[in-house]
């Protein structure tokens, strides 16, 4: 059993991590005895108190137990999960909350964000290899599987959110940014077509899949609805009456609401607004802001179920249109 000590990590955590990694790699199996506190003290030059506290933490996690006759022994496997998301947002918080809530307390979850930085993404994946029993990851791109993820065994990897590419046997819980998005627009057709123009605020720097633009244009063309896709800030000319706005960024949604107030326009009457991605606060803003979204809480709960059961899941979650007063 290898235990690495460093100035950046407490000795207690180093002992806990060393034992956990040994269990995860199969070097220590259920029923195996751990070295006694005295033996750990001699072998690794750490105090008895440090070893005792480390063993208590391992007991709290359900990895080891002890009896007067047997001493400390391994009870089960390590359940240490990496949850790697893209960026923080309210709906990602909902995903995380449901993920953790639906896992037993013995599971430890590390939440990290790659911020759409390719170097950071690859570094996190590379440095996490062999340290986790499961990897739940929002892939970097909607178009292809990130190369570095091929280093993770398929049965230990679950892809979230993006995934229009061929995923083979890799488990996934994704959303469809094309046909399902289009179907939401069709579902709300009666309400949406009371506006003369439909504007999609889609900033150039976003990693949101471009396929959504194709299906947005398809809906507008089929219904002879004047449309515009705004990719750059310079293209923004301010809110217009009889126009429906679809916003991906919260900042753009706030901008539309503020400018509508200044212009004396009322949401749901002479101007419309839809948010791409649901957020609990949308229910209480004005008379409610409509949204197009998957249920990220459901994604978190389903991800937790896969982590617990390891039963293969390959599913695109339903995208729903939630109509509120803003339309």
Looking at the DSSP assignment, which residues form a beta bridge with residue 111? 83
Q: Is 193 part of a structural domain of the chain? A: yes
Predicted confidence (pLDDT) per residue in 280-310, tens digit: 899 999 999 999 999 999 999 999 999 999 9
Same domain as 208, residue 239: yes
Above 80 in pLDDT, residue 324?
A: yes
More confident residue, 31 or 182: 182
Supply the range of the domain harboring residue 209. 179-293
Q: Return the sign of the alpha-carbon dihedral for residues 258, 263, 265, 270.
A: negative
pTM over 0.85: no
Q: What average pLDDT score do residues 53-60 get?
A: 90
Same domain as 237, residue 204: yes
Same domain as 153, residue 117: yes
Cα 115 to Cα 119: distance, rounded to the nearest angstrom: 10
Number of structural domains found in the chain: 3
Same domain as 185, residue 119: no
Same domain as 310, residue 161: yes
Look at residues 74, 94, 120 and tell me which one is the last residue of a structural domain: 74
Query: For residue 24, what pLDDT band results from cuts at 50, 70 and 90?
Result: confident
What pLDDT score does 70 carry?
84
Same domain as 284, residue 184: yes
Same domain as 289, residue 187: yes
Residue 281's domain is classified under what CATH number? 3.40.50.2300
Above 80 in pLDDT, residue 42?
A: yes
Give the C-alpha distances (Å, rounded to integers) separating 57 from 2, 20, 49, 224.
18, 11, 12, 64
Same domain as 232, residue 102: no
Same domain as 278, residue 185: yes
Q: What average pLDDT score do residues 96-108 get?
A: 92
| Pick from 90, 84, 95, 61: nearest CA to 303 | 95
Same domain as 87, residue 64: no
Exposed / middle / buried, residue 54 (Cβ in 10 Å: 0-12, 13-18, 19+): buried
Predicted confidence (pLDDT) per residue in 163-213, tens digit: 889 999 999 999 999 999 999 999 999 999 999 999 999 999 999 999 999
Same domain as 89, residue 142: yes
Q: Are 73 and 34 in contact (CB under 8 A)?
A: yes
Q: Is 1 part of a structural domain of the chain? A: no
Cα 249 to Cα 325: distance, rounded to the nearest angstrom: 19
Same domain as 263, residue 191: yes
Q: Are 160 and 137 in contact (CB under 8 A)?
A: yes
What pLDDT score does 6 carry?
83
């Amino acid at each position: 059993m290898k235990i690495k000590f460093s100035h950046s990590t407490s000795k207690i955590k180093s002992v806990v991590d060393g034992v956990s990694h040994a269990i995860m790699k199969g070097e220590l199996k259920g029923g195996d005895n751990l070295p006694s506190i005295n033996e750990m003290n001699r072998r690794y030059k750490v105090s008895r108190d440090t070893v005792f506290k480390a063993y208590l933490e391992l007991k709290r996690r359900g990895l080891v137990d002890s009896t007067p006759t047997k001493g400390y022994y391994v009870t089960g496997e390590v359940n240490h999960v990496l949850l790697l998301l893209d960026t923080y947002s309210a709906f990602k918080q909902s995903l995380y909350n449901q993920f953790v809530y639906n896992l037993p307390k013995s599971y430890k979850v590390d939440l990290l964000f790659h911020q759409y930085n390719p170097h950071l993404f690859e570094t996190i994946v590379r440095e996490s290899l062999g340290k986790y029993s499961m990897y739940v990851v929002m892939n970097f791109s909607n178009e292809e599987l990130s190369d570095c993820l091929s280093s993770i065994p398929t049965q230990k990897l679950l892809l979230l959110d993006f995934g229009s590419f061929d995923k083979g046997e890799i488990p996934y819980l994704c959303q469809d940014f094309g046909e399902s998005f289009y179907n939401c627009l069709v579902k709300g057709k009666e309400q949406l077509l009371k506006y003369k123009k439909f504007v999609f605020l889609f900033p150039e720097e976003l990693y949101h899949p471009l396929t959504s633009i194709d299906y947005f244009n398809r809906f507008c063309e089929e219904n002879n609805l004047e449309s515009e896709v705004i990719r750059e800030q310079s293209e923004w000319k301010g809110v217009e009456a009889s126009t429906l706005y679809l916003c991906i960024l919260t900042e753009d949604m706030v901008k539309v609401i503020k400018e509508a107030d200044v212009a004396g326009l009322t949401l749901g009457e002479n101007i419309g607004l839809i948010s791409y991605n649901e957020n609990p606060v949308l229910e209480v803003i004005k008379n409610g802001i409509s949204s197009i979204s998957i249920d990220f809480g459901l994604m978190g709960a389903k991800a937790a179920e896969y982590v617990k059961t390891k039963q293969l899941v390959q599913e695109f979650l339903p995208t729903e249109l939630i109509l509120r007063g803003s339309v």
